[in-house]
Structure 1
Amino acid sequence: MSTTGNHDSTAAGRPAAPPPAPRRRRRNRVLGALAVLTLLLGIGLMAGTYYVDSVPTPTDLTLPESTTVYYADGKTPMAKLGAENRTIVPYDQMNDSAKQAIVAAEDRTFWTNKGIDFGGVLRAAWSNVTGGQRQGASTITQQYARVAAELKGVTYSRKLREAVIAWKLDDKYSKENILGFYLNTVPFGRGAYGIEAAAQAYFGKTVRRDAPADKQLTKAEAMVLCAMVKQPEADPDDPEGSPGYDPRRNAKARQNSIERWAYIRDGMVKLNYLSPQEAANLAYPDTVRPNDPAARVSGLDRPTGQVVNHVLSELRQTDPFKGKPAEYLRDGGFSIVTTVDKRVQDAAEAAADIRRDSAPEAVRGQPRNWQAALVAVEPGTGRVLGYYGGNAATGADYAGWYYDDEGDARGYGQHPPGSSFKVYDLAAAVQQKISVKQRFDSPDTKEFPASGRTKASPNGPIRNAEHAACQPNCALWEATVASLNVTYFELTEKLGLNKVLDLATRAGIDSMWANEPGNPQPRRIELRGHPGAETAPHFSTEAGIGQYGITVADHANGMATLAAGGKRAEQHFVRSVTKGEDTVYSERLVQTDLGLDAEALNQVNWTLRRVKAAELDNGWDSAGKTGTWQAGQSTTQNVHTWMVGYTGALAAAVWLGSTDGKPLRNKNGSYEVYGSNAPGPIWRQFMERATAALKLDPDKYRFDAPKFPDDKPSPTAPAPSAPPTTTRPSSAAPPPSCEPAPCASASPTGRPSPTRSPRPSPTRSSGPPRTPPPPG
């Protein structure tokens, strides 16, 4: 019986000197008579309240039960959610170890009493009123009744009502039903409620009888656990003197545990659960795990805590969970199987967590303001296989954004993609039958009056950040490999920004962030479900060269669409949700076509395979693109760097930037930090290790070569297929390149906006304003 709930407390105050012995005897007789009278009156009161008192019963009382989040294999736990660490196991699925040990520990007459131990109550009454040790005299049924009725306080009226309820329950429900509920209910310490959570917390085992024998809780181990029920936690007022029964807490607690274990062992013999010989051969187990307080965090203190945030956000938008309180999902005892493959996740964390020794040498030991993010998506399904946006659920999410329990948008995952966005311009071009061998006028600088980029404008003409051997006249594929801004700005004008945004949206870019006059924070523009002609006015032509923020997650999904032969799938984190034997939710795999024919896709792949940073050393065909965005007006210092790309089996996007908005500067003091030498090594290491871990055959994922039917390009670009879309001129304060405040400490969660919405809204702000940069 628990000292925290089963024993009545002693009266306050220091007692006077004891009276002479004859007076004590007379007093005890009087008090004893009063106790018996009280008991008899109580029995009469029981009869009067038996049919009117009510209590939640084992069939109608819902217990908070931990929801477990699993990796994609459905077996490996990622996190455990809920106010109480509890996993309910039905009585008939438990092995006998805990059933027998708890009866021997707490109520040896359980199987024969009527829910009330009248002899114990009488002894408790006598002891309590005659100055002996206060006693609770609670059977297992009474203890259950107390929990079920949420009875609090230590009073005789409470004791009486508890007995009434126990009597009633015992008359109506089977002993098995009551014992099963009790074992799933009581606390065992270490934050574990119920025998299954306790078995896992103390021994890493289970009480399920269908588990392998070596994984099941033994009788000796169950006896250790059932000793805990007497006092699950140390007395906070005297933790050293009254430490409870966790043998790993201190020496006294261990001794308490051993003595209580011996008491339970003797009870097991008396109840014929053990023979005397079996008891003699039984050894106290010294295999109790150390108490790890961090384990109570339930996995949210790891990088996959960010995955859990997205999982919960995604499920809140589905019919089974929409409009339900947060506790319904967290405390509902659900089993959530995510799309995240542990092998891929391990590779993502090893590469993108640049504080680890496992990260590529190029990014290890760099300044503390360096931060990376990585998202990997499975082509054709949209399943997120790996996600690294930060190191904990409560930290800033640099890879994406999600809705929290209150419907508020959180996360800091949007960054200007720079030249990595040009993959969508390229795809839009070949969709419009512009060959990648088509040549463009490609000087170092060029004016574009229609877009407000002239020598007389505040931002001046467009200039290339790099120089290529093909200049001043380059094929589109050459301009892609060299990331020539002049070529791609002209391409965006000729195609029309609406067509570029249409293509990017269909590929996977659901949101883009824009600055607006009078709004101090960039605002999220919902691209998904809106035609480019509708969203283009929010942006200038600079969108085509990556000036406006997008998320790492969206960019990864765009790469997955190209990897899947132009078949876009909805990016998601959840494969299934079950409760017991019932399936509550299952993923729905739906593809939409990007609208590129085979030749167009082959030309895109052929071009992106020529990007040196995208080459892998493991025999896989791979394609990709780097990108940077400069700091302020600088042409040599960058705040954001990217590497995105794919094989036929895996797509990934990597961002590396600064957390404080300052230019990236390496440990040697150099500002030469680019997509190729910072996120590039992260991407390559991840792709090589992840594809190796997945054990896929690269020969099954080869890219086809294009045929180039129009292999006679003219010296200049063709006329535009449609008039340029009128967009906001770049002189109207283009969006800046970084968000200094949230990069450092916008809020503990990296919250992008105080506005609330139950589902993604067409606009969403994310972070404070940034200083306007030139395109890069």
Structure 2
Amino acid sequence: MRHNGEVRGPGGATPARPRRRRRRVAVFLAICTLLAGCGLVAGGYYFDSVPTPTDLKLPESTTVFYADGRTPMAKLGAQNRTIVPYDEMNDSAKQAIVAAEDRTFWTNQGIDVKGVLRAAWANVTGGQRQGASTLTQQYARVAADLRGVTYSRKLREAVIAWKLDDTYSKEEILGFYLNTVPFGRGAYGIEAAAQTFFGKTVRRDAPAAQQLTQAEAMVLCAMVKQPEADPADPQGAPGYDPARNATAKQNSIDRWNYIRDGMVKLGYLTPRQAADLAYPDTVRPVDPDAGRSDLDRPTGLVVNHVLAELRRTEPFRGKPDEVIRDGGYRIVTTVDKRVQDAAEASADIRRDSAPEAVRGQPKNWQAALVAVEPGTGRVLGYYGGDRGSGADYAGWYYDEKGQARGFGQHPPGSSFKVYDLAAAVRDGISVKQRFDSPDTKEFPASGRTRGSAAGPIRNAEHAPCQPDCALWEATVASLNVTYFELTEKLGTARVIDMARRAGVESMWETVRGNPQPQRVDLRGDPADQVAKRFSTEVGIGQYGVTVQDHANGMATFAAGGKRADAHFVRSVTKGDEEVWTEQVRQTDLGLDREAIDQLDWTLRRVRAARLDNGWDSAGKTGTWQAGQSTTQNVHTWMVGWTGALASAVWLGTTDGKPLRTRGGSYEVYGSTGAAPIWRQFMSRATEAMKLDPDRYRFREPSFPGDAPEPSPSTPAPTTSAPSPSASASATPRPTPSSPSPRPTGRPTVRPTSSPSPSPTGSPTRSRGPR
């Protein structure tokens, strides 16, 4: 029979008042007897300090979702718990738990009177301590954190249960219990258990196929008796999780049968229904990674950035992380599961899905990849390493203590020339303007002469146009001489300002006497002040930037010069309350349509940036050499965009040593290392997003006042890098700022190989970046 929509016990009737009073008298006498047995004169303390469920702050796990708001990325919190209001639960677990743990629940007064009297009598006579508890007592034990089988604990448990039963309805108490009790595998509460063991929900408004069934609920409620294996004898006393071992499964079946019999006695099932009910063999296997809370996977690094971002928002500023982790929030990230899968498949070079050029290379090879949505700044994909608890090679963030974490800064080499080019076209310098581009050239104003320690600027490659090249030709061939001259012409402040406004918020300078490059916040002082900390070599990519910042810069160009801050969080909600939502703001770089068109037109001619899936794409490779070597590279890059997606890829080594293929070759460049990762990722991601490439075509520039240039289909010169031998993957770099830790055992790495460092550093002689 039902009472207020709930199936009750046999007869279904609520006890009559006289009977209720008689029971209360019996309970009171039992408690007094137990009090006397304990030698306590007054019980006022026990009544005055009883915590009520409204006072109980249950830690509720926070769930981090992908951008679709449906696919979980990670569970956070000390306890995996998702609270579901009682009236939103289906009946399956409500009935099963009563049949399993307290068959008199709907008629008792919250206390097992006979059990309390037995405990009292045993206490008076010195007999064995007694145990059995009602559901209400079990909840009271959890609510008040009562542990052990002592008389005072039993007394306090009984008093709390009595007060609970006097204050709350049976439905409320059962709801408290089902949201509180542990079920095993770290799941607290019936909803977390349903998700953990069966991938289902107890919500009655969910589709029927997704709701926990009666038979499945009986399996879960059997586990309450012993949620985890006995650590002293895990094989002999494994509990009731049927996936743990054969003994545990038999325990589960036996108790499942016991619960089924109880449900018949209580009228929840007819004998025929019980006979037709089958024990479910659909329990999920024990996940060996369950204890990782998803934070040791690549997306664990995303969670680190999510938490860092939320700490700066008004709802969470100044509060400890436990407020977020145990607050029961729904955090929807910007990360698109389809894009993230493509990022991990391409940049995790230990996987068979990685491009052949970088797959199976030495263990010290490492890659990082970040993808950003143009116009919104949403980070759609992020791969900074294969473990969330490990080093982050794609970026950095502040942890809860305000310490900078991550190892994501790397000298960008020639990939940084995109900002030089953007600054040039913004200032009206046509990509057809010609520059003197010999293989070697002195720049006295910047201290690069044959008599200086750094020496003149040298091109790493040769182009057919030399010694007189148009800017677009020098870009495609990545001529350092041309870009050093361009940087002098523009001024370092203009180049840095363009990079900053596009999305590069930090850059690492070389400080004399300090072995580690130091982070400079480009958003702080005006560009002309910041520029004093860097030399002209900034234009050819000597100073470290993060993969995340570089990707955001590319997204700005993909959006036609409209910059948005890169971010990881779309929304935070709790129940029906919106706690926080993203604020997308755009700023304009000041690039007109012609400037953007010339930028696209030039960078789409870089051969490494060409996709074979019908998308218009633009990009730039980059390489940075080891020390004074002219043949060995530590860092390789590929950055670029389509109209719908921008990304940056870095490939290097975890120990700062030069990239060397498994075959022993040092011939690893941006075009043969990072570029294959970038192309595979961009092709797979754009395909997975199911977007129409025709909607994102590049426009042709007008080149006002200039003679016609070759059509986009005309082959363009490219850097004469050797053909791919084995290839590379990303290298870890020093910490983002001085407080940051460095990977264990990793030697210090200078910002290496190229023109002189900053004016404050000691110059080095090299051919420079590619």
1:278 aligns with 2:273: yes
User: Distance between the aligned counterparts of 1:151 and 1:441, measured in 2?
Assistant: 82
Contact kept in structure 2, 1:379 and 1:651, CA below 8 Å: yes
**Change in CA separation of 1:744 and 1:497 when aligned onto 2, cut-off 3 Å:** closer
User: Distance between the aligned counterparts of 1:151 and 1:378, measured in 2?
Assistant: 52
SS at match of 1:516: coil
1:520 aligns with 2:520: no
Contact kept in structure 1, 2:503 and 2:552, CA below 8 Å: yes
Aligned residue number for residue 770 of structure 1: 750
Structure 1 residues 143-162: Cα deviation after superposition (integer angstroms, max 9, x where no partner): 11111112223211111111
User: Distance between the aligned counterparts of 2:30 and 2:575, measured in 1?
Assistant: 48
| Correspondences of 1:192-203 after superposition (within 5 Å) | 192-203=187-198
Query: Among residues 48, 55, 61, which one is paired with 2:56 in the alignment?
Result: 61
SS at match of 1:293: coil
Aligned residue number for residue 762 of structure 2: none
| Correspondences of 1:89-488 after superposition (within 5 Å) | 89-125=84-120, 134-488=129-483
Residue 684 of structure 1: CA displacement?
0.8
Structure 2 unmatched runs, 5+: 1-28, 709-729, 755-767
Residue 668 of structure 1: CA displacement?
2.2
Normalised to the residue count of structure 1, the TM-score between the two structures is 0.87
Residue 753 of structure 1: CA displacement?
3.6
Residue 769 of structure 1: CA displacement?
5.0
1:73 aligns with 2:73: no
Residue 448 of structure 1: CA displacement?
0.8
Residue 54 of structure 1: CA displacement?
2.3
Contact kept in structure 2, 1:408 and 1:753, CA below 8 Å: no
Query: Among residues 529, 536, 539, which one is paired with 1:544 in the alignment?
Result: 539
Q: How many residues align?
A: 703
Residue 56 of structure 1: CA displacement?
2.5
**Change in CA separation of 1:289 and 1:129 when aligned onto 2, cut-off 3 Å:** farther
SS at match of 2:354: coil
1:592 aligns with 2:595: no
User: Distance between the aligned counterparts of 2:555 and 2:78, measured in 1?
Assistant: 37
Aligned-partner residue type, residue 283 of structure 2: V
Aligned-partner residue type, residue 536 of structure 2: T
Contact kept in structure 2, 1:58 and 1:177, CA below 8 Å: no
Contact kept in structure 2, 1:115 and 1:140, CA below 8 Å: yes
User: Distance between the aligned counterparts of 2:51 and 2:32, measured in 1?
Assistant: 30
Residue 259 of structure 1: CA displacement?
1.7
Aligned-partner residue type, residue 215 of structure 1: Q
Aligned-partner residue type, residue 266 of structure 1: D
| Correspondences of 1:710-749 after superposition (within 5 Å) | 710-711=705-706
SS at match of 2:657: coil
Residue 35 of structure 1: CA displacement?
9.5
Structure 1 residues 258-297: Cα deviation after superposition (integer angstroms, max 9, x where no partner): 2211211121111111112111221222222211131232
User: Distance between the aligned counterparts of 1:235 and 1:334, measured in 2?
Assistant: 33
Aligned-partner residue type, residue 195 of structure 1: I
Query: Among residues 670, 686, 694, which one is paired with 1:691 in the alignment?
Result: 686
Contact kept in structure 2, 1:401 and 1:413, CA below 8 Å: yes
Aligned residue number for residue 582 of structure 1: 577
Residue 405 of structure 1: CA displacement?
2.1
User: Distance between the aligned counterparts of 1:684 and 1:82, measured in 2?
Assistant: 38
RMSD, matched Cα: 2.3
Contact kept in structure 2, 1:416 and 1:549, CA below 8 Å: yes
Aligned-partner residue type, residue 157 of structure 1: S
User: Distance between the aligned counterparts of 1:602 and 1:152, measured in 2?
Assistant: 71
Query: Among residues 563, 570, 573, which one is paired with 2:558 in the alignment?
Result: 563
Aligned residue number for residue 601 of structure 2: 606
Aligned residue number for residue 495 of structure 1: 490
Structure 1 unmatched runs, 5+: 1-33, 714-741, 757-765
Structure 1 residues 557-598: Cα deviation after superposition (integer angstroms, max 9, x where no partner): 000000000000111000000111111110011000011111
**Change in CA separation of 1:772 and 1:391 when aligned onto 2, cut-off 3 Å:** closer
Give the share of equivalent positions with the same residue, in percent.
Answer: 78
User: Distance between the aligned counterparts of 1:682 and 1:51, measured in 2?
Assistant: 66
- More off after superposition, 215-224 vs 380-389: 215-224
User: Distance between the aligned counterparts of 1:661 and 1:553, measured in 2?
Assistant: 20
Contact kept in structure 1, 2:38 and 2:152, CA below 8 Å: no
User: Distance between the aligned counterparts of 1:601 and 1:621, measured in 2?
Assistant: 14
User: Distance between the aligned counterparts of 1:549 and 1:771, measured in 2?
Assistant: 7
Query: Among residues 754, 758, 762, which one is paired with 2:739 in the alignment?
Result: 754
Structure 1 residues 649-684: Cα deviation after superposition (integer angstroms, max 9, x where no partner): 100111111111111111222211111111111111
Residue 131 of structure 1: CA displacement?
8.9
**Change in CA separation of 1:131 and 1:409 when aligned onto 2, cut-off 3 Å:** same
Structure 1 residues 69-94: Cα deviation after superposition (integer angstroms, max 9, x where no partner): 10000000011111111111111111
SS at match of 1:109: coil
SS at match of 2:652: strand
Aligned residue number for residue 16 of structure 2: none
- More off after superposition, 168-177 vs 51-60: 51-60
Residue 239 of structure 1: CA displacement?
2.2
User: Distance between the aligned counterparts of 2:344 and 2:390, measured in 1?
Assistant: 15
| Correspondences of 1:26-41 after superposition (within 5 Å) | 38-39=33-34, 41=36
Aligned-partner residue type, residue 360 of structure 1: P
SS at match of 1:627: strand
User: Distance between the aligned counterparts of 2:368 and 2:732, measured in 1?
Assistant: 15
SS at match of 2:452: coil
Structure 1 residues 427-469: Cα deviation after superposition (integer angstroms, max 9, x where no partner): 1111111111000011111111111111111110110000111
